[in-house]
Amino acid sequence: MTTAHAGIASGVFSVTAHDRVVFGVPAGEAVVHEAARYDAARVFVTSTRSLAKMSDGPLQQLERALGARHAGTYAAVSSHSPREDVVAGANAARAAKADLLVAVGGGSVIDATKAMQLCLWLGLDTADAMEPYCVGFERTKLSPVVPPPDAVRMVSVSTTLSASEFTENAGITQSKTNTKQSFKHRLFAPRSVILDPAATLDTPEWLLSCTGIRSVDHAMEGYCNAQASLATEALSLQGLRLLAQALPAIKREPAELSHRLRAQMGMWQAIAPLAAGVPTGASHGIGYVLGGTFGVPHGHTSCVMLPAVLQWNAAVNGERQKALAAAMGATDRPAHALAKELIAGLDQPTSQRDVGITRDKLDEIATRALSYHPVQVNPRPIKTKADVLEILDIAW
């Protein structure tokens, strides 16, 4: 980057490689239209076993809508996107001669499908073959990813509020070490993002609610990070505002699609700064340990860590957090208390005990957390394991 003008803010806002976002349209109709736009004749669908078990859920409706374009389905992606599932899905898509991938599900499915593109582009067919391309604390060097000219891309249909579809990063679990690793390329981002609120109707209430809190976490940590700027702050606050209104409304009126669409728009706004390059913080970093090592669902990691991290960080950014409180509609209360109240009001866990973490695991969590980048760039510097343990104690 060239030298900035003296006395003014500078930065970079990276634009993800989406062609477009389609919202408020039935998913099957939207995907068929996008497949035609991309001249795709062999569309391969990825999803989960839980969606595959439904008789007429979003997966079945999409497969039916695709008709002759449907080249096959891999519906066995597990939580936290293990490498083995990525490779199995890519092998199935390769055998089907897929020319477009469509992920139907939440963050685990979408992230796995992003990484499937890597395997298809480079001919990777084992979990170990993915190793040179990951970013994780086990690695210090990274092999470049060079897609072929005819690189297979993906479209996403979201059934949760995790917002993975808006980034170019794939969070994948290395099963050998039980650690979360990142695979990243600009073209991992879906070409088209489909936001159909009806596609969330069959999602269990607990899952929709906690992934909604994951998006609240995106908004709050994105706003509080030192790399936030005039280009990102309004997006974070608008995302938080929409989510804080929509999530309780969904709980009150679960059949009302307008509430669900507002939540989807909120998750989009909340993730936009992160997709543009703003880092997160310790809630996400510690959450990677809780999820990748101890199997806590993505959304629940934010439920139990976000209020604690906000409270710990308030010593250095308490004034800035007042904007978060204002976006949630209560300027006279601390942001961490409002976040915890929102989480509890959605009947989600608010402590590590609630998600099965025992005190004897805290030392390992703290040790592992120090190696994750979001912890290293937390607004209040985290220098030692003792610092992480202070946060874990608040969240206990």
**What secondary structure does DSSP assign to 5-63, as a single string?**
PTTS-----PPP--SEEEESS-HHHHHHHHHHHTT-SSEEEE--HHHHT-SSSHHHHHH
The answer on 208 and 195 residing in a single domain is no
Non-local (6+) Cβ contacts of 68 within 8 A are none
Residue 276, classed as helix, strand or coil, is coil
In a domain, 107, yes or no: yes
Angle at 221 between CA 276 and CA 395, to 5 degrees: 150
Give the DSSP H or E segment for 157: strand 154-158
Give the DSSP H or E segment for 169: strand 169-174
Pairing between β-strand 179-184 and β-strand 169-174 as defined by DSSP bridges: antiparallel
The answer on 208 and 184 residing in a single domain is no
What confidence score (pLDDT) does residue 7 get?
Answer: 82
DSSP 230: T
Alpha-carbon distance of 28 to 396, in angstroms, equals 43
Phi, psi of 183 (to 5 degrees): -120, 130
In a domain, 193, yes or no: yes
Non-local (6+) Cβ contacts of 382 within 8 A are 282, 370, 375, 376, 388, 391
Query: Do 214 and 302 meet the contact criterion of CB atoms below 8 Å apart?
Result: yes
In a domain, 25, yes or no: yes
Give the DSSP H or E segment for 71: strand 70-74
Pairing between β-strand 179-184 and β-strand 192-195 as defined by DSSP bridges: unpaired
The answer on 212 and 334 residing in a single domain is yes
Distance of CA 134 to the CA centre of its chain: 17
The answer on 269 and 126 residing in a single domain is no
What confidence score (pLDDT) does residue 275 get?
Answer: 95
Alpha-carbon distance of 77 to 181, in angstroms, equals 16
In a domain, 14, yes or no: no
| Residue position matching structure tokens 């139907």 | 104
Alpha-carbon distance of 270 to 302, in angstroms, equals 14
In a domain, 8, yes or no: no
The answer on 227 and 137 residing in a single domain is no
Domain containing residue 107: CATH number? 3.40.50.1970
Domains in the chain: how many in total?
Answer: 2
The answer on 234 and 181 residing in a single domain is no
Span 297-356, pLDDT tens digits: 989 999 999 999 999 999 999 999 999 999 999 999 999 999 999 999 999 999 999 999
Query: Do 180 and 288 meet the contact criterion of CB atoms below 8 Å apart?
Result: yes
The answer on 112 and 48 residing in a single domain is yes
Helices marked H in the chain: 27-37, 49-52, 58-66, 83-95, 107-122, 205-224, 233-252, 257-275, 282-292, 298-327, 335-345, 362-369, 373-376, 385-395
What confidence score (pLDDT) does residue 136 get?
Answer: 60
Q: For the chain, list residues with pLDDT below 70.
A: 1-2, 136-141
In a domain, 53, yes or no: yes
What confidence score (pLDDT) does residue 227 get?
Answer: 95
Non-local (6+) Cβ contacts of 383 within 8 A are none
Picking from 199, 215, 248, the residue at the C-terminal end of a domain is 199
The answer on 259 and 177 residing in a single domain is no
Picking from 142, 167, 199, the residue at the C-terminal end of a domain is 199
Sign of CA dihedral 226, 215, 318, 365: negative
Alpha-carbon distance of 88 to 110, in angstroms, equals 15
What confidence score (pLDDT) does residue 247 get?
Answer: 98
In a domain, 74, yes or no: yes
In a domain, 153, yes or no: yes
Domain range for 224 is 204-395
What confidence score (pLDDT) does residue 6 get?
Answer: 84
Query: Do 72 and 41 meet the contact criterion of CB atoms below 8 Å apart?
Result: no
Domain containing residue 280: CATH number? 1.20.1090.10
Residue 355, classed as helix, strand or coil, is helix
The answer on 142 and 224 residing in a single domain is no
The answer on 258 and 153 residing in a single domain is no
The answer on 284 and 355 residing in a single domain is yes
What confidence score (pLDDT) does residue 141 get?
Answer: 66
The answer on 360 and 281 residing in a single domain is yes
Picking from 199, 234, 267, the residue at the C-terminal end of a domain is 199
DSSP 4: P
